[in-house]
A and B are shown apart, each in its own frame.
Chain A
Amino acid sequence: MRDVSSIAALTLAAMLCVTATGAGAHDEKKYPDMRAQWTRIGSAAFDPNKPGGRGQQPPLTPEYQALLDNILVARAAGSLEGNMTVTCIPSGMPRAMIVYETMDVIVLPETTYIRMSYMNELRRIYTDGRAWPAKITPSFVGYSIGKWLDEDADGRYDTLIVETRGFKGPRTFDGTPGIPLHSDNQTVVEERIYLDRSDADVLHADIKVTDHALTRPWSVARKYQREHSPHWSEYICNEGNQQLLLGKENYMVSADGFLMPVKKGQAPPDLKYFNQPK
């Protein structure tokens, strides 16, 4: 009788437990809590574990290494060549995952949303089991399909694996020096996104990039810190942006509204469509 009573109590409690965990269509307990605001840990280089500039040692093909060398020469002269974000073109992937400002992560069973404050880029990572579409409209952030894994087999997902394709460009790995990705935009980005096992306020993104500008895939490990009391700012690139790209040259608009050069000896832009004094 005593056993029967205990079993009945256990059964009732277990039923209550099932009700509590399974009430919603979306059982949030199955997913890691990645909500809140995340900020970058480490440098804004693509590989935060290596020095910036040439210290990044990107495994570029000779053609793209030469392109990078030219960019470095132009940068040394004051130009911002190779960094499209100065004219408010978004970072795109994989550079967006550097997270210059802050990042939101919202996990729903069918989609995980990663939203960057910088350039307002929104990544939708589809986890609804869909196949790759026959045609992808190219975008800077690409088209992402993900899958949740329960790697420690505790009945709860812990790792989101993501593959992203379908890009447009130009895109670079970073802002400085502006390591280029191939202009064919055939980049494939694979990621593993997970909370740190010992500190749930640290998020990891292991990123592997395959691109025709590279001689081999380039893998980096990035980390982000959770902010519990977030302050959300709006990042509006065009608000007060004084950088201009005209043709292949970039210029600046001075504080008093005049066009000005960004490097010594820079020629002014061609004004052929304006009525010029004869």
Chain B
Amino acid sequence: MLMRSSISSVTLIGVLCASLNGAWALDERWALDETKYPNWKGQWVRADSAETAPWDARKPWGLGQQPPLTPEYQAIFEANLKQLAAGVRASDPTVRCIPAAMPRVMMAIHPMEIVIMPDTTYIMVETSSTLRRIFTDGRAWPKEREPSYAGFSIGQWEDTDRDVLCGHA
């Protein structure tokens, strides 16, 4: 009897607890416990300050980037450089307000903000108002994906000595 009374008390509290915890949540798995995730809050700006914003910040702009392009795309690249020298920026889609897209958007020409939720990490880049959703809910790659400039990203958190979000886009 004593045992039953204690158990029913605990059960009642448990029910109240579950009710408190779950009343609003659509899916308890994605309730945010911020202590589990790194604090990446704030505004992030590009650490290198090169005016030309090369893709590889450790190498000079232009041919100095030495991108490992196929011969076909090396020829396109060199033709684009000639156009740029003539003052034509036709090879840069952002001049027509087409987004910088991945991976270029991660240069963070303009600041970015990172919002971490358990199921999704959002990277909000001011350049072209790009929003990257990196799904960390364990989903598989969908069979069909609508192409987009930011791409479709799946990520996974790792608990190493650094906080690492590994992703594929």
Contact = CB atoms under 8 A, between A and B. Distances in A.
A10 B10 contact: yes
Given A10-B9, A236-B99, A28 B25 contact: yes
B6 A122 contact: no
A9 B5 CA distance: 10
Contacts of B5: 2, 5-6
Interface residues of A, number: 46
A13 B14 contact: yes
Contacts of B9: 6, 9-10, 13
A216 interface: no
A89 to B, nearest CB: 11
A100 interface: no
Contacts of A13: 9-10, 13-14, 17
A31 B13 CA distance: 21
Interface stretch (B49-57, B75-83, B143-151): B143-151
Contacts, number: 108
Main secondary structure of the interface of A (DSSP, over half): loop
Contacts of A237: 97
A20 interface: yes
Interface in A1-55: 1-2, 5-6, 8-10, 12-14, 16-17, 20-21, 23-26, 28-29, 31-33, 35-36
A270 interface: no
Nearest to A121: B129
Contacts of B31: 28-29
A121 B99 CA distance: 14
Interface string B88-100: 0000000011110
A239 B93 CA distance: 10
B130 A120 contact: yes
Interface in B1-58: 1-2, 5-7, 9-10, 13-14, 16-17, 20-21, 23-26, 30-36, 41
B23 to A, nearest CB: 7
Contacts of A233: 146, 148
Q: Which of A14, A121, A236 has the most CB atoms of chain B within a 10 A radius of its CB?
A: A236
Contacts of A17: 13-14, 16-17, 20
B111 to A, nearest CB: 12
Interface of A: 1-2, 5-6, 8-10, 12-14, 16-17, 20-21, 23-26, 28-29, 31-33, 35-36, 88, 106, 108, 110, 113, 115, 119-122, 156, 200, 228, 231-234, 236-239
18 contacts: A5-B2, A9-B6, A9-B7, A9-B9, A9-B10, A10-B13, A13-B14, A16-B17, A17-B17, A21-B21, A24-B35, A28-B31, A29-B25, A106-B122, A113-B122, A115-B131, A122-B131, A200-B24
Given A5-B2, A21-B21, A31-B24, 4 more contacts: A8-B6, A17-B17, A20-B17, A113-B124
